[in-house]
Structure 1
Amino acid sequence: MMIALTKGYLCPSQPFNGKVHSVFRRAINITTDLTSEPWVSLLGQALPATPTAFQCDFGAHGDLTALVKAGDVVFMRGGVIRLPAAALVVNTSAAKDWPQTEPIMLLNQALIQRNFGLAEAGLSQHCVAPQQQRIRSAHEYIQHLGLTTPMCLASAPEWLTNNIGYGKGLTPSGDDFLLGVLAVLSSVYEIYPKAADIFQRIALQVQQQLGKTTDISAHYLSLALSRHFSQPVQWLVYYLLTTQDESTIAIAMAKNLSIGASSGADTIAGILYCITQLLLS
């Protein structure tokens, strides 16, 4: 039996029946029969914690794709998730909740401007264009990705949803970028009326276009519409808007940049774009 180490705050505790949706080397995605929690993930420790995932140490099991297949039956009883075909058992009852950010009640524009500069420099150092030309800003990175953005976010936020499904991979670049935008809007939703309006306008369009992207990406976008984001994304936005400590920014940036082939960088680009448009314009 394997012990789940951490759990997201939206992970189910009640019994469910389900099936494996998809499996990767260190991740299993499960669809359940629960209306409130239709998607659950089992993720390796090195992957970013999400609101609907249990993090586990899969070290002794090798490549999960050799063990688990899409369509395999899954069920949870008494806090224990079982995949009978793979003889895989995960006890979730002792899993610890990962810490969420606190509400942001005050914004300091000078501090945000400084932290933005630190994050943009970190993104630029990480990203190199195909011709080995250094990307010098978040704006240049967004252009490199080929994403669509309005000149003024407040006037045409719906334009951003044209990016849904744009790019390659399990979570296309356009989706990751949009997640970053939504994460910033969500963080100041309660204290900045303009952010709440923009968020709602984007959300209305996203709901109508989830079919344009992958199932996995649609899941994360759906979570974002309810203002739920992965642990690294939550904390990076929080630190960019609140912390005085430069090393804290650097650590949070490194955690996000390590996500996927480019997912972390794409999400950071969305975060920085939204900060520029919403809080520094």
Structure 2
Amino acid sequence: MILALTKGYLCPTQPFNGKVHSVFRRSVNIKTDLKETPWVSLLDDTLPATPTAYQCDFRSLQDLTTMVNVGDTVFMRGEIIRLKPPSRLAINTVVATNWQQAPPLPFINKKRVWHNILIAERIFAEYISEKEKQPFISISEYIQYLGLNTPRCIYSLPEQLVENIGRGKGLTPSGDDFLLGVLAVLSYVREAHPDAATTYQRFQIQVPRDISKTTDISAHYLTLALSQHFSKPVQWLVYYLFTATDRLTIETAITTNLLIGSSSGADTIAGIVYCINKLLLS
């Protein structure tokens, strides 16, 4: 039996039945029969924690794709998740602890935010320049490189950003990850910034109309974002960009996100920094 080390704050504790939606070397996504939590993930503890995922100690298992198949039956009873057949893999979630969410934003210090964004852009540009083997001096250049649509004023035409849904390759296309970063900022500052709350509400109306253009996995994360739920690395990066008082904290948070997926972390950071710039610093 495999131990779940942490669990997202939206993970179910009640029994459920389900099927394996997708399986990768270090993760399994499950479609459940629960209305409140229709999607649950089992992730290796080296992958980023999400609101609907159990992080597990998969070190004893070399490759989950050799053990689990799409369509396999899954059920949870007594907080034990079992997959059968043929794997008979069992996940004990009883002792899993909730990962710590980022605290609310106390207030907005524009000078501090501006300083932190400059640090973030330098770290980001250096990383992307090396990765893509071409020079980038700003996140704006990277957004252009991705070919994403962005309005000059995020308040006037936020719906233009929704056009990016499904744009790009991968399980979570670049346009979706970018939009997720935008939503993370709007959600986080909505209490302290009335225009952010209004803009966020407009996304809550428009995104569901276009969400069928993307993958099931990406649609799941966008749906969570529309209800103000984000992964642990994204939450804490947004928090630190508004509150950190030292470079090391920013650098650590940026690096943690950059290491997510092939480009998902970078694309999400681009959305976060773009939104903060348009919201507060333009």
TM-score range, shorter chain: over 0.9
Equivalent in the alignment of 2:252: 251
Q: Pick which of 3-12 and 55-64 moved more.
A: 55-64
Q: Return 5+ residue gaps in structure 1 as ranges.
A: none
Q: Are the aligned partners of 1:135 and 1:141 in contact in 2 as well (CA < 8 Å)?
A: yes
Structure-1 separation of matches of 2:261 and 2:92:
27
Equivalent in the alignment of 2:147: 146
Structure-2 separation of matches of 1:183 and 1:216:
18
Q: Are the aligned partners of 2:108 and 2:192 in contact in 1 as well (CA < 8 Å)?
A: no
**Quick check: 1:37 aligned with 2:37?**
yes
Q: Provide Cα deviations, 1:71-102, integer angstroms capped at 9, x if missing partner.
A: 00000000000002111000001001000011
Q: Secondary structure at the match of 1:76?
A: strand
Q: Secondary structure at the match of 1:237?
A: helix
Equivalent in the alignment of 1:60: 60
Equivalent in the alignment of 2:117: 116
Structure-1 separation of matches of 2:69 and 2:125:
39
Equivalent in the alignment of 1:125: 126
Structure-2 separation of matches of 1:239 and 1:45:
23
Equivalent in the alignment of 1:197: 198
Change in Cα spacing, 1:223 to 1:131, as seen in structure 2 (3 Å) is closer
CA RMSD of aligned residues (A): 1.0
Equivalent in the alignment of 1:72: 72
Q: Secondary structure at the match of 1:34?
A: coil
Q: Are the aligned partners of 2:8 and 2:99 in contact in 1 as well (CA < 8 Å)?
A: yes
Structure-2 separation of matches of 1:111 and 1:250:
15
Equivalent in the alignment of 1:269: 270
Q: Are the aligned partners of 1:129 and 1:135 in contact in 2 as well (CA < 8 Å)?
A: no
Equivalent in the alignment of 1:83: 83
Question: Residue type of the partner of 2:245?
Answer: Q
How far did 1:105 drift?
Answer: 2.2
* Counterparts of residues 113-262 of structure 1 (less than 5 Å): 113-128=114-129, 132-262=133-263
How far did 1:130 drift?
Answer: 8.7
Question: Residue type of the partner of 1:63?
Answer: D
Equivalent in the alignment of 1:94: 95
What percent identity do the matched residue pairs reach? 60
Structure-2 separation of matches of 1:202 and 1:160:
9
Q: How many residues align?
A: 281
Q: Are the aligned partners of 1:160 and 1:202 in contact in 2 as well (CA < 8 Å)?
A: no
Question: Residue type of the partner of 1:76?
Answer: M
Question: Residue type of the partner of 2:14?
Answer: Q
Change in Cα spacing, 1:92 to 1:190, as seen in structure 2 (3 Å) is same
Question: Residue type of the partner of 2:202?
Answer: R
Q: Pick which of 160-169 and 131-140 moved more.
A: 131-140
Q: Runs of 4 or more off by more than 2 Å in structure 1?
A: 128-133
Q: Are the aligned partners of 1:27 and 1:43 in contact in 2 as well (CA < 8 Å)?
A: yes
How far did 1:203 drift?
Answer: 1.8
How far did 1:133 drift?
Answer: 2.3
How far did 1:132 drift?
Answer: 2.9
Q: Are the aligned partners of 2:5 and 2:95 in contact in 1 as well (CA < 8 Å)?
A: yes
How far did 1:7 drift?
Answer: 0.3
Q: Provide Cα deviations, 1:204-241, integer angstroms capped at 9, x if missing partner.
A: 11011110000000000000000000000000000000
Q: Secondary structure at the match of 1:270?
A: helix
With structure 2 as the length reference, what TM-score do the two structures score?
0.98
Structure-2 separation of matches of 1:199 and 1:73:
37
Q: Return 5+ residue gaps in structure 2 as ranges.
A: none
Q: Provide Cα deviations, 1:135-192, integer angstroms capped at 9, x if missing partner.
A: 1101000000000000111110010000000000000000000000000001101121
Q: Secondary structure at the match of 1:60?
A: coil
Equivalent in the alignment of 1:9: 9
How far did 1:129 drift?
Answer: 8.1
Q: Secondary structure at the match of 1:59?
A: coil
Question: Residue type of the partner of 1:163?
Answer: N
How far did 1:128 drift?
Answer: 2.5
Structure-2 separation of matches of 1:93 and 1:60:
19
Question: Residue type of the partner of 1:68?
Answer: V
Question: Residue type of the partner of 1:95?
Answer: A
